[in-house]
Chains A and B, each alone.
Chain A
Amino acid sequence: GAVVSQHPSWVICKSGTSVKIECRSLDFQATTMFWYRQFPKQSLMLMATSNEGSKATYEQGVEKDKFLINHASLTLSTLTVTSAHPEDSSFYICSARRQTHQETQYFGPGTRLLVL
C-alpha cells in the first residue's frame, strides 16, 4: 500500500503561537509532498509543493513566511503555521507521491487546526 500519516490530527492553539504539522510516508519514499488546505464545504486548495532537499514552491497568495515548509528526508515533510490567527483555522492535508509511479498522490488523514 501507500500509507501517509499526519501528526497531530487535531490541534487547538492560542492566537499568535506557531503550530508544526508533520507528514510522513510510511511505506514508500516520496520525493514530492503537497500541502493542501480545505475550509468547510470547499474544495482542496493547494498551498505548496514540497521537494526533498530543496525549497518549497508556494501557490499564488500563500505567504511563504507564514507557512514554513521543510522536506528534510524522503519520508518527512513539515508545515509550520507561524503566528497563527483564527482565520488560519482549517483542515490541513498533506499528500505524497512515490519516487516511482509518480502520477498518483496519496493523502494523509489531515490535521484540523483551531486557532482561538
Chain B
Amino acid sequence: QKEVEQNSGPLSVPEGAIASLNCTYSDRGSQSFFWYRQYSGKSPELIMSIYSNGDKEDGRFTAQLNKASQYVSLLIRDSQPSDSATYLCAVNIGTGGFKTIFGAGTRLFVKA
C-alpha cells in the first residue's frame, strides 16, 4: 500500500461546479496534511494546510480531514478553467512529522 494515495484522474468538471479531490494515507500518527497545486512545467504551490479533524475553508477551497478514516479531501467551489492543474496531497509522517510524502497527484480539468 502506498503511503499517500490519490486517484490520478483526470477529473473533469464544468466551469462553476464543485471539484472534489480525495486522498488517503497510511500512517495513523500523521498530524499535518497539505494540498499543493502544480501547473504543468511549474513547481508545486501550497493551497491549504490542515491539522485538525473537520473542515477548513479558505476562499473557494475547503480542506476536510478525517483522521479516523485516514482521509483528506479538497473541495473547490465555483471551479474555474484556471483551476485546471494537478493537485498533490502531502502528509507529514515519521517521528516529529519530519518527512513529507506526496501522493501521485490528481489531474483536474475544468471545462469552460
A residues lining the B interface (CB < 8 Å): 32, 34, 42-44, 46, 49, 91, 93, 103-110
Task: Flag if A44 contacts B88 (CB, 8 Å).
Answer: yes
Task: Flag if A103 contacts B49 (CB, 8 Å).
Answer: yes
Task: Flag if A103 contacts B51 (CB, 8 Å).
Answer: yes
Complex Cα spacing A34 to B92, Å: 13
- Interface residue? B46 (CB, 8 A): yes
B residues lining the A interface (CB < 8 Å): 32, 34, 36, 41-46, 49, 51, 88, 90, 92, 97-100, 102-105
Task: Flag if B105 contacts A43 (CB, 8 Å).
Answer: yes
Closest to B44 in A: A107
Task: Flag if B44 contacts A44 (CB, 8 Å).
Answer: yes
| Majority secondary structure, B binding face | strand
B90 cross-chain contacts in A, Cβ below 8 A: 105
Task: Flag if B42 contacts A103 (CB, 8 Å).
Answer: no
Closest to A108 in B: B43
A-B contact pairs, 8 of them (CB 8 A): A42-B104, A44-B88, A93-B43, A105-B46, A105-B100, A106-B46, A107-B46, A109-B43
Known interface pairs A104-B46, A107-B36, A107-B43; 8 further A-B residue pairs with C-beta atoms within 8 A, sorted by A's residue number: A42-B104, A44-B44, A44-B102, A103-B51, A104-B32, A104-B49, A105-B90, A110-B42
B103 cross-chain contacts in A, Cβ below 8 A: 43
B48 smallest CB distance to A (angstroms): 11
